[in-house]
Amino acid sequence: MKKAKHILGIGALFAASLFLISADHIDAPAVQGGSSDITDFYAFQGENTDNMVFVANVQGLLSPAATAEASFDESVMIEFNIDNNGDFVEDLVIQAVPRNGKMYILGPVAPVQTGLSSMLTVESAKDVNSVNITAYGEEAQVSSNKGISAFAGPRDDPFFMDFAQYSAIIAGEASGFNNPGTDTFAGTNVMSVVIEVPKSMIGGSGTINTWVESKRKQ
Amino acid sequence: MKISNKILGLTLVAGLLMSCETENLSGEGMGVDNNPNLAGTYVQEDQMGRPAVNTVFVSSGSKDEFNVTIPSEQNESFQPMFESTLLALNPGYTTNALGMDASTFTSALATDVLNVSLDGTTTFYDGTNVLTGRALTDDVITVELLLIFGGPDFSENPDFSDDHVDSNDKEFLSSFPYLASPH
């Protein structure tokens, strides 16, 4: 009880910085609510266990009505980064760029350069895959080419959490979570990119470090 | 002077590449059908490895900076902030169920990448496997709350260590694209 109050007191001090918890939805002022705001990142073994699936979601908390109007920003690249040797620098990237109703998928390929800037060149464009961006209300359109499957379009936000109660706790208005809790993200959608690749293309075995980035064309 | 020359050089190279690509693509049908010119330089705005890391552990004035700090430099720049945040959230923190003290735990978190096994089960935590990926069904927030508040055996601060939302509102698919159709 005492401990709980102590936590609450400190928590209240941090309320400003912690108010908007979620997976990565609206995580920072510069990207909050914008077309480059990453909401979530997943990496898991595919239905075919020789494959790895990467999921990046952007533009969170879309109501059904807002989803019908939502689209990928053609100036924003979604880049999956893969580090094979444990130095936290990307050795491979999978890059997704939307254009004219299609999502173009480059890689897995060694990046032209690592770090905060990504350059796409003539070479980058040689082995590009693409998939039609699925419209809201339409059956999922999937492309498969050379073992790589791709999807891009609106999906249910797979994230779940009682964000409202967490906020109440942090604000000092509640003394704990409810049981059962309420999923604040129920009924909301995201814009999603799903790419499945053979594990043999990203190192084959062992452990990778992976993260996703959104990057805007200059 | 040197720098401006370099920049000029880079710009020229970039310009050449872009014009080359336009020609090649239209002339030789490289890439997919009607592949538009995607060439250019793309500069980072957001990034994410593990769920909720920037949101929970980075103070409000530094969140944008965290999003444009490359993972190999995140530990050095942000671990002290992560540790003070952890100890502010849970002043009674000793170790968590992974046996990590505050310094070890926040060092692991500050480099915000997802560790993924290419050899089998991929899960954030399933009772046996720890940090071998992130599956759609993983209750990642409860895992993180347990690691922050739950103490060495997940028994501490029960009011704060589980949000009691254990699954998604829609069933996931067993096949590609795995995510449920939109609402």
- HSE-CB at A83 with a 13 A cutoff on CA atoms is 21
| Complex-level ipTM | 0.89
pLDDT of residue A30: 83
pLDDT of residue B99: 96
Copy the structure tokens of residue B126: 């399933």
H or E stretch at A13: helix A2-13
Candidate from B42, B70, B168 with C-beta closest to A216:
B42
| pTM for the predicted model, two decimal places | 0.87
Question: A1 pLDDT band (50/70/90 cuts)?
Answer: very low
Copy the structure tokens of residue A156: 């249910």
CA-CA distance, B99 to B95, in Å (whole number)? 6
Contact present, A60 and A25 (Cβ < 8 Å): yes
Q: At what angle do helices B71-89 and B140-149 cross, to 10 degrees?
A: 60
Question: A20 pLDDT band (50/70/90 cuts)?
Answer: very low
B-chain residues within 8 Å CB-CB of A119? 14, 17, 39-42
pLDDT of residue A13: 37
In tens digits, chain B (183 residues) has pLDDT values of 344 444 444 443 343 333 333 333 333 334 444 467 788 999 999 999 999 888 889 988 999 999 999 999 999 999 999 999 999 989 999 999 999 999 999 999 999 999 999 999 999 999 999 999 999 999 999 999 999 999 999 999 999 999 999 999 999 999 999 999 999
Copy the structure tokens of residue A211: 């993260």
Question: A102 pLDDT band (50/70/90 cuts)?
Answer: very high
Question: A123 pLDDT band (50/70/90 cuts)?
Answer: low
What are the backbone dihedrals phi and psi of residue A29, each rounded to the nearest 5 degrees, phi first?
Answer: -55, -40
Gap from B139 CA to chain A (nearest CA, Å):
8
What residue type is assigned to position B102 of the chain?
A
C-beta atoms of B116 and A209 within 8 A = yes
C-beta atoms of B31 and A43 within 8 A = no
Closest CA in chain A for residue B172: A158
Closest CA in chain B for residue A123: B21
CA-CA distance, B145 to B28, in Å (whole number)? 55
User: Per residue in A50-83, pLDDT tens?
Assistant: 999 999 999 999 999 999 999 999 999 999 999 9
H or E stretch at A109: strand A102-109
DSSP state letters, B42-88: EEEEEEESSTTHHHHHS-GGGHHHHHTS-HHHHHHHHHHHHHHHHHH
Q: Which residue, among A216, A194, A199, A197, has the nearest Cα to A42 in the 3D structure?
A: A194
Q: Which residue, among A70, A59, A57, has the nearest Cα to A195 in the 3D structure?
A: A57
C-beta atoms of B182 and A186 within 8 A = no
A8 pLDDT higher than 80: no
C-beta atoms of A45 and B52 within 8 A = no
A-chain residues within 8 Å CB-CB of B26? none
Contact present, B106 and B74 (Cβ < 8 Å): no
Buried b (16+ CB within 10 A) or exposed e, B60-76: eebbbebbbbbbbebbe
Per DSSP, what are the bridge partners of residue B139?
none
Which conformational region is residue A59 in: left (phi greater than 0), alpha (psi within -120 to 50 degrees), or beta? Answer: left
